[in-house]
A and B are shown apart, each in its own frame.
Chain A
């Protein structure tokens, strides 16, 4: 009894104590809230000097961090003054994911060498010495300071020893810098000539792939990654990049660009040289452009034309999508040969642009089933063109002719509706679907729902939809408003970018593009009296990587691995280029980016690499930027200095049936074989009827003039076994026995 009493007493005491502590916590919290209020004010003051909505994010991030920092230490009675917490901020934000060093992992990559293959064979003094020297001391290795690569007429091979003076200066000041140097034996190997430029060693970086991050050195030669690991044995004369623990990620793949796109007699201001330069500046080392043949023109000719343009000018590797703007048998053949011979595996169709590019549902069905058979990816521009045409007419009639009419005539719902329809058709035809330019919440929701039901569908938000919103359409500055015009339009709902970033982080949206398609103000002004005439397109190829880092990684929505997945790996998988692109592994292309998570820059049209006068992200401050970009094994960006060579970009052919999409499709094809029911014959009376129209119609298949039994179009290789027999059997007058397809399995509905 006594004991029990004591115990109770104790408990009560404890409770009291807890109560006191709780009150103290509460007080502290209140105090913190006050201070936070002040802080927010401060931040607002500071940042409102700048422009733009991103600042809010920055402020919010700071506040959140502060809260974390403070609440973590509330129990400690008195902590250091408030500023201290703020001082801690950048460090906290600097290391998303794990702040601590991950234990060094030697053989992490999927494609790594056999364990121990390079271990303790020879001590690589050169490499070691480079590593030591690079760590802190300013290097003494000689370097050339010329910037010759900036001029395109210079040698196509960039000198490996070239380095920007700024880089070395800064490298001396701060310890965690990326440093460039050539190995000590450089002089000896001088005679190798420019061959050494093909050899590059990235030391001390943290390799970030989509599945894991680990510390290792990367050695690349001839544009291909040759070795990954510690203490690599490398030949002499290797240029070494000291990453100093910074992240090394696969170069970005911008899966959607429109460089040098012809439009009504003009072309977009960013051609392949300008565009791919901007891409490299932003950390993107491969772009995938859209070939847009005019309706009625040959796809093949258009493809050749684009190849020619890009081969001449592109500074980075590229690949091509081909847009199907009309559909008939000859187009079908062209699509087939593009897949088989030309290395194109993705084709875009339009559900918008009525009477111009738009495809009917039947055509979509036809195209999708054809692509499903040939192993292509069906991309759709999803908007209901018919309703848009009606709405546009209505807007103009009401006297709305400015850019705001663009967004008013293309409400979000129309995008969602078309996405829904595309998914339905793709699901019917068992074709993998790729929705380009996901611009609105509702479209993203539809994609996410479809994925939950099991549909093979990928969504591509673009830089613009992830970074800004459609409120700018109401800008009083016509030129500014017009620069935001793109289709589907940016959503006027300001919460859209955040939502799309979340969906991207959760994996509901798979890849990111930029849909970079820029026009000058003069070009946009074609539509100054009629918004339907404004050429459509926004910039974004340069800002893409930083923007996603800033919006999704620094805010904690995704980790660095997911960042790699959405910026490159997933795109490479969809295009069937994986693991050549989109991964840092032995045998992959040497397209790397050394990512600086701390760098902060402000986007502005003054400094961007695009030729357009407006930047839709103007004034946005983004955290995270490429410190060095290595493309095809060459350093093309070092500390903000670009050394691009126009015309070095290679066309990367994509092969059909990418596993990422088609493994599931194939399995489903095998499963989905339809079977008729074997029945006795019906021998009862049959009513007389006339085939004329009216009443409950049902003979739609018969009455469709366009679709006479063109055999086999929809037969996949998997289902052919069944249908051949019934095909020969005409519809006999009466009492025909319905046969079972030999060996056929029935399956009624789709998997979803």
Chain B
């Protein structure tokens, strides 16, 4: 399907110049037939009868769909966990991503204790720069909240092109932050113009449930899902939405795994909250019944948090919400461990390292579950696999769109191709594939990353280390237009009143009720103001001098 045009005597045919002929270009808004010419990794021309220089490699699309390469917004390649490292490193992981039609990944930087955010970020940069085969970017996880964190976040946003931070509502005593801390983190994130990502599960309840389940003698992987019921996820999502509304901060829920969590997001969006939901390959493609598998290793391979829902109708439901726009982006949360690594939790499910595969299967799975079934069309498919992600994380239209000037990350998609997913054939380093045996329709025929063909006729030619770091600017329009409008709109003002000069009751005891104000960098001055004012007899209550602030959400 690809051939060489032009004179045979051109000595070196670089794949830097590529022409895709006769393609049906699919963007998130429309599909149209045109040729695409790209050079140096950038799309230079789109149209019919393009004038292109000689020595161009031509790909005949024959009217097949060409869409923007997928963006996997959530991966955890090469993630350290208690002295181990997840099985797929940046090379293996991005290779698998490319094989599945994904040309950009966004990985999570998980700060080690005692290591600063910036240092952790640099560590990840180093790993990814040396190994990644496709463009990448990085989210940074906030796992503790102390004085220096805010400055580090500022540095990351301003100097390192990070515009998204993840906080955890789960993992009690490890990563979990309290509601007050999250309020503060979210306030900082809003001021910086970044996006707050939340791992939403109620860690307190989980800790209690885990203890109870272990006490009951349940130590296998089924204990994992039993101790993390769906409601606990929905509760945390609801809480995160509330806090985000209070702080007027855009919110992004990673790993939407259950119907009820998705419902909470959908409801919040209806009320006007700026919230995005990310279902992952695992939750879209399979369910949690496998936790009861008699095969321990298989059951353990499904362990991830929040867990897959045991309700077998969940994938279908999430696919529907994804199709109707209530959920917007898809990731894979790809974080794989070998069976021997999983086995450290063989006698205690709480020790099983968490994570599932999915970066390779993501695009095909969604095509099969949503487009083939008629839930969404090809444009919506592009939206949920790449465009929305690019918009939210402010790399649009460089990524996530086929347009002149965009990066030459393309996928030539074959809607009829069928494939049976199996651990035997996948591009991963692990023994189990959670989608084992699922037959999917639709897959990439040709994948072009950075203007180079990396997948062609089933053979993969990735180049280790060619992936570039894509820096992302803050105040993404897609997200912040509304936030900005709201912060202008919602101002608070005190009521100007005459002085109260009636009798005042004597207070004998020190203030008890509601007198405590947690002091954060934000609230400090407030608390002081409060402290400084003694109980004067007649103090005029002043309106804030020009002070403007936002109260609530629109909803």
Residues of chain A at the chain B interface (Cβ within 8 Å)? 263-266, 294, 353-357, 360-362, 365-366, 384, 386-402, 404-405, 408, 411-414, 416-417, 420-421, 424-425, 427-428, 474-479, 481, 520-523, 525-526, 528-530, 532-533, 535-536, 674-680, 682, 684-705, 707, 709, 711, 714-715, 719, 722-723, 725-727, 729, 731-734, 736, 738-739, 741, 748-750, 752
Contact = CB atoms under 8 A, between A and B. Distances in A.
A727 to B, nearest CB: 6
B371 to A, nearest CB: 31
Nearest to A412: B552
Given A404-B494, A479-B502, A722-B216, A356 B347 contact: no
Most buried by A among B183, B209, B500: B500
Contacts of A748: 225-226, 310
Contacts of A732: 347
Interface in B198-245: 202-220, 222-223, 225-226, 229-232, 234-235, 238-239, 242-243, 245
Given A354-B514, A393-B526, 13 more contacts: A266-B505, A356-B516, A390-B183, A402-B497, A427-B231, A526-B507, A529-B536, A685-B340, A688-B83, A692-B82, A695-B353, A727-B215, A749-B311
A701 B207 CA distance: 5
B171 interface: yes
Interface in B325-371: 335, 338-341, 343-348, 350-355
14 contacts: A365-B204, A387-B242, A390-B184, A390-B246, A393-B522, A397-B523, A413-B245, A675-B218, A682-B297, A695-B79, A695-B80, A699-B351, A701-B214, A725-B217
Contact of A677 (B110, B215, B299, B345): B299
A674 B294 contact: no
B236 to A, nearest CB: 9
Contacts of B497: 402, 476-478, 481
A701 B220 contact: no
A521 B503 contact: yes
A145 B544 CA distance: 61
B81 A694 contact: yes
Contact of B83 (A398, A428, A675, A690): A690
B294 A677 contact: yes
A524 B553 CA distance: 30
Given A677-B220, A726-B215, A387 B231 contact: no
Given A397-B523, A421-B235, A738 B220 contact: yes
A741 B211 contact: no
B417 interface: no
A685 B343 contact: yes
B350 A701 contact: yes
A533 B299 CA distance: 55
A268 B73 CA distance: 57
B492 A395 contact: yes
A682 B215 contact: no
Nearest to A733: B347
Contacts of A526: 504-505, 507, 535
A690 B498 CA distance: 66
B229 A384 contact: no
Contacts of A474: 495
Contacts of B346: 682, 686, 734
Contacts of A680: 294, 296
B188 to A, nearest CB: 13
Contact of B220 (A294, A525, A530, A679): A679
A354 B179 CA distance: 11
Interface in B306-337: 310-311, 335
Nearest to A360: B204
A751 to B, nearest CB: 11
Contact of A696 (B183, B355, B495, B539): B355
Given A405-B494, A694-B113, A749-B230, A362 B204 contact: yes
B29 interface: no
A417 B555 CA distance: 14
Given A354-B516, A529-B535, A676-B219, A686 B343 contact: yes
Contact of B338 (A678, A687, A692): A687
B336 to A, nearest CB: 11
A679 B300 CA distance: 12
B529 interface: yes
A5 B525 CA distance: 91
Given A397-B525, A525-B503, A676-B217, A413 B343 contact: no
B526 to A, nearest CB: 3
B493 A400 contact: yes
Nearest to A739: B217
B458 interface: no
Contacts of A477: 497
Indicate the member of A362, A687, A732 with the most B CB atoms within 10 Å. A687
Contacts of A405: 494
Interface string B147-190: 00000000000000000000000111111001110011000000
B239 A421 contact: yes
A503 to B, nearest CB: 17
A388 B529 CA distance: 17
A696 B180 contact: no
Which of A530, A678, A695, A703 has the largest count of B CB atoms less than 10 A from its CB? A695
B511 A533 contact: yes
A417 B335 CA distance: 32
Interface in B67-83: 79-83
Contacts of B551: 408, 411
A685 B337 CA distance: 13
B335 A696 contact: yes
B535 A726 contact: no
Given A424-B234, A695-B353, A399 B494 contact: yes
Contacts of B523: 389-390, 393-394, 397
Contacts of A734: 346-347
Contacts of A475: 495
B505 A698 contact: no
B207 A700 contact: yes
Contacts of A355: 516, 518
A420 B238 contact: yes
B400 to A, nearest CB: 29
A355 B341 CA distance: 42
Contacts of B305: 698
A699 B350 contact: yes
A750 B219 contact: no
B515 interface: yes
B242 A366 contact: no
Contacts of A536: 513
B81 A264 contact: no
A395 B495 CA distance: 12
B180 A386 contact: yes
B340 A362 contact: no
B457 interface: no
B180 to A, nearest CB: 4
Contact of B112 (A387, A694, A696, A749): A694
A702 B519 CA distance: 30
Contacts of B492: 395, 398, 400, 408
A698 B238 contact: no
A105 B212 CA distance: 55
A399 to B, nearest CB: 4
Contacts of B511: 264, 533
A420 B520 contact: no
B530 interface: yes
B509 interface: yes
A424 B514 contact: no
A604 B541 CA distance: 28
A40 B210 CA distance: 63
Contact of A749 (B310, B529, B552): B310
A264 B509 contact: yes
A686 B344 contact: yes
Nearest to A676: B218
A240 B348 CA distance: 73
Contacts of B535: 526, 529
